Amino acid sequence: MAFGQSADAKYCHALAEKTRAVTAGGTAPPAEVPVAISKCDSGDAGAIATLEKYLRDNKQELPKRG
């Protein structure tokens, strides 16, 4: 992670990593999930809600914020 990232950007990155782990197990995500991961990777924290929903729908615990 780059120095100086906002708390939202760090949280988004953590959500993206958790989502990658879930999808690596063979779970095919809806089309908006890879887009959200890409947004998080580029520092756009606007994808947080999409990734939170996906993880909750898959009965995953969300990473801690902050």
pLDDT of 66 reads: 72
66 part of a folded domain: no
pLDDT at 1 over 70: no
* CA neighbours closer than 13 Å in the CB half-sphere of residue 16: 22
Is 63 among the domain residues? no
Domains in the chain, number: 1
For residue 2, tell me if it sits in a domain: no
Tens-place pLDDT, residues 18-38: 999 999 878 789 999 999 999
- C-alpha 53: how far from its chain's center? 10
Note whether 24 and 10 are within 8 A (CB): no
51 three-class SS: helix
Note the pTM of the prediction, 2 decimals.
0.87
Domain that holds residue 36: 7-57
Asked whether residue 1 is assigned to any structural domain, the reply reads: no
Residue 52 is assigned to a structural domain of this protein? yes
